[in-house]
Amino acid sequence: MIVAAVQLNSTADIDRNLERARFWIERAARAGAELVALPENFAFMRIEGSQNLAAAPLEGRLLSFLQSCARELNVVIAGGTLPELPPGEKLPYNTSVVVDRDGSVRGIYRKIHLFDIDLPDARLRESDAVGAGGEIVLAKTSVGTLGLSICYDVRFPELYRELTSRGAKLLMVPSAFTVPTGTDHWEVLLRARAIENQCFVVASAQHGVHGPTRRSYGRSLIVDPWGLVLARAADGEGLAIADIDFDRQEEVRRNLPCLQHRRIASSDRVLPVSHLSRTRSS
């Protein structure tokens, strides 16, 4: 099965972002891709400290865009993330939606781990502008079962082990990794998640300068269950595209059955944000 990870340079211009996303989804479909993954914040890249003007209920323009692309191009779309603001909520969620070929929604995941850092030379607090999700989500699609995650989640291996335990064959990691962390950690973390879970990892990324304070690393990757990088996007907009083989995945799991040797059971409980905050400060 051919899989494509789309790399974008999104800004605060929603019309322009959707036009670029559509362009690359079409390119991927013409190349034979059955699954196309978009990056985090594909439709709107908020400038740090500003209001998220694109935040809206899930049933709206951005979901309609994903559904129309999926139906017209006959592809499954892992829709990066969009800012979802449910009625009555104060903060939007950073939400990933998976849409099948017929336009049906197969999975809705709200980012659990939020990127909060406070260093002498950098202060980024995603939790000031985004609500934390609390549910582990699989998307069962016509091309396979996807385990959903977003960007900073990749630093928390227990999430991916739980997704794998529940049947994920592909782990989706739409991201907007910063340049300093991306340079040293991006590929290492993605390959580690692939190796330890014997899963394919599809990591679609933002690249380049988005505004005065935002610059993303890029280098979208597709990694196989042995940890080999099958495809890597160059700098700028583009695609990482690869032909993945589920038989190869089963061979890896047969020959190195580490998933069957686990002696520590995982928990399906997601800790509340208040507990996480206490843990970080302790």
Q: What are the residues whose beta carbons fall under 8 Å from the beta carbon of 135, sequence distance 6 or more?
A: 109, 110, 112, 270
User: What is residue 259's DSSP assignment?
Assistant: G
Structure tokens at 63: 């979901």
Nearest CA to 78 out of 246, 266, 220 is that of: 220
Assign 108 to helix, strand or coil: strand
Active site residue 135: no
Active site residue 40: yes
The catalytically annotated residue of 69, 126, 151, 169 is: 151
Q: How far is the C-alpha of 227 from the C-alpha of 197, rounded, in Å?
A: 10
Structure tokens at 230: 């099958």
Residue 238: Cβ-neighbour burial (10 angstroms; 0-12, 13-18, 19+): middle
Q: How far is the C-alpha of 169 from the C-alpha of 244, rounded, in Å?
A: 11
Q: How far is the C-alpha of 254 from the C-alpha of 194, rounded, in Å?
A: 16
Q: How far is the C-alpha of 207 from the C-alpha of 194, rounded, in Å?
A: 22
The catalytically annotated residue of 40, 84, 126, 162 is: 40
User: What is residue 36's DSSP assignment?
Assistant: E
Active site residue 90: no
Q: How far is the C-alpha of 166 from the C-alpha of 110, rounded, in Å?
A: 18
The catalytically annotated residue of 34, 69, 84, 111 is: 111
Identify whether the C-beta of residue 182 lies closer than 8 Å to the C-beta of residue 208. Answer: no
Positions annotated as catalytic residues are 40, 111, 151
